[in-house]
Structures are given as C-alpha cells and as structure tokens.
Structure 1
Amino acid sequence: MNPGANPIPGLDTAAVRRWIADHDADLTGTPAFTRIGLGQSNLTYLVGDEAGHRWVLRRPPLGQLLASAHDVLRESRIMSALAPTAVPVPAILAATTDSEVCEVPLVLMQYVEGRVVDTMEIARSLTPGQRGDIAGSLTRTLARIHAVDLDAVGLADLAGHKPYAQRQLKRWSRQWEQSRTRELPGIDDLTRRLGAAVPPQHETTLVHGDFHLRNVITAPDTGEIVAVLDWELSTLGDPLADMGSLLAYWVEPGEDIGGDFPASALPGFPDRAEMARGYLDATGRDREALTFWHVLGLWKLAIIAEGVMRRAADTPGNKAAAGTPTVERIDAIVDKAREIATAAGM
C-alpha cells in the first residue's frame, strides 16, 4: 500500500498512521485498514501492521449526524473508567480531536482476541452447550455492569440522574422525528402507551444502552465474555432498561423480528423467560417492571433501525456488511412491541 494513499472513505490513512506511531512504538511499516464488525453506527476498523500487530480504530459515521449521537470520545471515557472493574472492555490506547489527523474524533483501542457471534454461520457452528454458556455469561456480565460503583470509577456525572424512562422517551421520540423515512402510526401508539405506563425508578446505575449478542467478544473455549463493545449509547439510568433491550434482540423460534440474525432461536440458547429469570434471580430486581422495558427496548430498536436505513440511503458509505434494515423488519418489531404491550395491559 502506498503510505500516501487514502483508500478508506473518511480516513487519511497516512495521517492516522503517523498518529498511531506516536502512541505505539511497535507499529511496523505501513498498516492496512479493514472495516470490521456489522455495526451500522460508528465505523470500526481493524488496523494491522507488517509485523502482525493489531489495533481497533473507531470514528463516527460519514455524512450529516444527529446532535449528541455517535460520540466516540464519550465512549472512550466510559471504557477507560471501566478498565479496573469486573466489566471486561478493550483498553483505550489513544483518542484525538486533531483535525490534521481526521476531521472527526478518532479512538484507538486494544484488539481483543476471541469470537464475536455476529453471523448465523458462526452461531450455527456452536454446540448447544456453547450457546448456553454464552447466554449465561451475557446475563452475568450485565449484572456486573449494573454493579459498577459510579463514584469510584468517576462516572457519577456521566448523565443526569432524572428518571431514565422519561429521558429515553424524550430522546428517542426526537430521534424518530429527525430520522424517520415515513409515517408509522404504530410508533406513535407505542410512544403514547409507554408514556402512560412508566414504572417507578428505584435505583440509578451504569446502563450500556445496546447490550446484545453481537456487541460482545467471547472466549471460544468457555463462552465467557472477554470484552463488551459499543458503549456509545451508555448512560446512567434504570438497570432493567439493559435487560429489556437484550430481550428485544432475543428472538424466539417462529418470530420474524430478527432480520438476518435470529441466532437466539437456535437450540441451546434459552428463551426470553429463562434469560430474564437468570438476571432477575441474580440481582433481585423487579419482574413486573421488566415488561415495560422490554416494550421500550423494541420501540427503541425500531427507531434505531429506521435511523440506520435513513443514514444508509443518505450516505451509502455507511452501509455495513450485514446490509440495511428493511421496512418489513421494522414494522414487525413495532407489531411485536404492541402485542407484548397489549398482553401486559399497557
């Protein structure tokens, strides 16, 4: 590769190479940059040099961005704070806002060896026992996130301490208005029903905000989570919100809300009730309130998917290898959320 070449949209690879060399003397020769992960938000690249060293680079998406979204510097602050805790995260090596390196902030982090279960091919290659081990580690790791001492790690000021449900409803309603591609009465109906059913908040903890199977790295031999990724939506709030989001992603056999990734419907992965029971038994949190957060998780997932569809249409360079959410999938998520809300009397 020509060091002066710039084959990666949004990255001046020669400038980034110099920046990495300033922070890691082990960089050898000219590094190669490869887009990795199936994430549709912040762009993630594997950086590999001629000696086999590897790093991970993160930057916001291309094109016009919504205010307060895709803040990689905030994400790096959270991950740095979690380094001494029981929550496994990649080490943050450097971050920059220098316009001579990139027109947007960049974060450089440790490359963590392990397996990311982010395609059906990988999910099918697992034994039922391995799937069960990963599922158990998901709920245990989520409990660890919610047990972080905010004052001890310096994250007590990460966000406001006002009731989280109202903050979420306000924020994602605004995101919907700014990113929607069409009228969708089901979203409006869910927004109204959620607003009328907010449960009381009894505690404030660190909340990951997007915790699911594709956002963790697992150890191939044990299934234990060795790194939790994608902290850009992390905040302070009700811990049940994370479990609700995990259930929103957790597809069961016969459902059509999983898009190209209905991995949790494979044998060995427990159903949603068992996943919820494992977390609630370990933490002693409110079973009744979890249904609200499950519905809100589906509502938010539909809004996020609509935003991804909008960004990919506006700026094709943001498209990830997994493709783009479809109108049909988004509608199915909304329908599932309304079904669960109706059954719960919301």
Structure 2
Amino acid sequence: MSATREPEIIGLDGPKVQKWIDGLGIGAQLPLTFSRVGAGQSNLTFLVTDTDRGRWVLRRPPLGKLLASAHDVAREHRILTSIEDSSVPTPAVYGLCTDPEVTDVPLMLVEYVDGRVIDDLATAEALTEDQRRRTGLSLARTLGKVHEVDLEATGLDTLASHKPYAERQLKRWRMQWEGSHSRDVPLVNELADRLAAAVPEQRELALVHGDFHLLNVITDPTSCEVSAVLDWELCTLGDPLADVGGLLAYWPQQGDLPVPHAAPTLPGFPTHAQLVAEYAAATGRDTSDVGFWHVLGLWKIAIISDGVRRRAEDDPRNAYQVRSGPSRDEIIDALLARAAREADAIGL
C-alpha cells in the first residue's frame, strides 16, 4: 500500500515550516495544517491550525518576480515588533524565518486575532447602521494612534527617508507604473503632473501605515472598535494626512464603482466629512490639505490595482478569491476618473 501524500501548499514547504514553528516554543500541537486565507492579493496569508484548535497567521511575499522594495515581510516584522507596546492595536509577532533551509523568502508568524473583518457586502449588510457608524469612526481614531507613535522611542526614525513624503510617493508610484503597467493609460501621468504641481507643505513626519482601509483591520463584534491593524508592508515615514486621504480613497460614496477592499456604500457608514472630522477631533491636526492626499490615494490605488492584475497574469498562483463584478480595467479607469473629479473639485 502506498503512503498517503500530503497535499501541496502553494508557496510553503509544509514539513519544514512546521518544524520551524514547533521550534518557536509557542505550544503548537503537531501536526499543523496550512490554508490560504484573506482577500488580499499582495503578501500571501495563511491560517495555521494545530490539533488543539490553536490558530496563528503566517505571511510571505507573493510568488514570482517582485518589484524592488515591494512586499518586504522582514520590514513588516520590524515595524510590528517596534510598535507592539504602543497604543496601536496589532497582532503579537511570534517569529520571522529567513533560513534558506526552510524557505526561499521571509516568513512571519503572528497572532490570530479573533473578531470581525468586513470583507464582503453580506458582512456589512448584517451590521446595524449604528454598528457601521461606530466602526467607521473607530478607523479614523485608530489612524490617530498610528500617527502618535514615537519614532525615536521605537527606533522607527530610521525606517525610511525624512525627505518630503509627497515627492517620494509620486516618484515611487510613477516608477512602479512604468515598471509594471499592462496598458497605456495617459491619465496616470496627467494626474501625476497635476499632483506634482500642487504638493502641500509637509509640517510633520509621522509613521504612515500606507494601506489603511476596512479590510486591513479587525474589529470587536461588540464595541465595533478596531482590535488589530493588519498589513503593514507599505508602512513608511511621511505626512500623516496621506493615511487619511488613503482611507477616503477606499471609502466610496453613492454612485462610485465598487473597487477591491473598499467600504460598501451602505447607510450608517460615515461620510468623508465625518471621517475627517473624527480624525481631526482625535488628533487636533489641521486637515485642510486632505483633498490633495485623497487624489493621490485614488491615483496610487489605481497603480496598485494594475500591479495586482499583472502579478496574477505573470503567476496565476498569486490570484485568490476573484469575485464577479467590474473588470480590473474598469476598476482602474473608475479610480482614475474619481481622482480627476476630486482634483477638479479642489482646484488641483
């Protein structure tokens, strides 16, 4: 009788990773099972389960060729361990593996945080209007906690350049577009030029999450407060209003085309004005330049969306949970059109 062969885990060497996790001394009861989870299509996320109902989360970069500086799991590990004693709610980190005998890319094991992830319309529709309101306002306040992190005390003052953030973002995402775009879209460069000509003065340097939206947080089902902020791979140092603008970009209003990771347009979810007001009340910051960052956020998400499509085309194993709806091109065009409308509205 032939031995039963273990199913292949795409992106992981199951037996080797299991041995590494066993050596961390976290009480995992072998054997472990690994399953791909989440709707994200950037770093790959796996649920790790043991025989005693223990659960953890494992992260690794996408498969195939990556753009320089993208999907840096080791950097994400540094950030999470640096802010674990701050007021920012994050999962505990248990280990980082860079051993080439175990894995060809860095792996990070973190705590499984139980709670609510509003990652589809059905989950959002099941909430009351008051729960939606409290959830959205908690996101705005949680951003304030991210931006309060003491850079010197955490050692994160060396995480990234201290040069003006808007210029860095425009340069980085223009390069990403030029290095990976799948079709010519003149509006990308047109918006980049308009943004470059209207960069606001940067008044402070703060920790910036870089990808803060509804799907990248876990909330408490009872209080609706954010209990964990996830996916720190784009975190850097910069203007804190960039995160507020990014949140608005992932927070469509009635009539906007649904895009991946966006908050559903349902009654109860705060308006853009309410989110900005809650953030301003929590932090005391002047938010008058948030419109610029909203436009930049929409532009950036369009470029990221094209990169996701390109990775899936280059290596189909990166694709996951593709849902019916608008095509990737329609999504990108809609994001850029929204960015152009917002730019017109604020006189950019």
Shared fold (TM-score greater than 0.5)? Answer: yes
5+ long unaligned stretches in structure 2: none
Write the letter of the residue equivalent to 1:341. Answer: A
Q: 1:185 to 1:6 in 2, by over 3 A?
A: same
Alpha-carbon distance in structure 2 between the residues aligned to 1:279 and 1:180? 34
The alpha-carbon deviation at position 288 of structure 1 amounts to 2.5
Taking the aligned partners of 1:64 and 1:6, their CA distance within structure 2 comes to: 25
Match of 2:317 in 1: 317
State the secondary structure of the residue aligned to 1:160.
coil
User: What is the CA–CA distance in structure 2 between the aligned matches of 1:46 and 1:121, rounded to whole Å?
Assistant: 22
Where do 1:1-346 residues align within 5 Å? 5=6, 7-256=8-257, 258-259=258-259, 263-323=263-323, 326-346=328-348
Secondary structure in 1 matching 2:179 = helix
Compared CA separation, residues 321 and 140, structure 1 to 2 (3 A): same
Secondary structure of 1:107's counterpart equals strand
SS in 1 for 2:65: coil
CA contact (8 A) 1:120 1:262 kept: no
Q: CA contact under 8 A between 1:4 and 1:14: conserved in structure 2?
A: no
Deviation at 1:4, TM superposition (A): 6.8
1:274-315 deviations in Å (ceiling 9; x for gaps):
111111233232333111000000000000000001101111
Distance in 1 of aligned mates of 2:4 and 2:79: 33
| Residues in 1 aligned to 2:63 and 2:109: alpha-carbon distance in whole angstroms | 18
- Say which SS state the counterpart of residue 201 (structure 1) adopts: coil
Structure 1 gaps of 5+ residues are: none
CA contact (8 A) 1:3 1:30 kept: no
Cα distance in structure 1, aligned partners of 2:225 and 2:150: 22
Shift of 1:18: 0.2
Q: Which amino acid aligns with 1:293?
A: W
Give the aligned CA root-mean-square deviation in angstroms: 1.5
Shift of 1:3: 9.4
3-state SS in 2 of match to 1:206: strand
CA drift at 1:106: 0.4
Q: Distance in 1 between matches of 2:7 and 2:77?
A: 25
Task: Give SS of 1:245's match.
Answer: helix
Q: Distance in 1 between matches of 2:214 and 2:94?
A: 25
CA distance in 2, matches of 1:119, 1:129: 18
* AA aligned opposite 1:36: V
- For the Cα contact (< 8 Å) 1:139–1:275, is it kept in 2? yes
% identity of equivalent residues: 53
Give the TM-score taking structure 2 as reference length. Answer: 0.96
In 2: Cα distance, 1:36 partner to 1:3 partner: 25
The one-letter code matched in structure 1 to 2:315 is: T
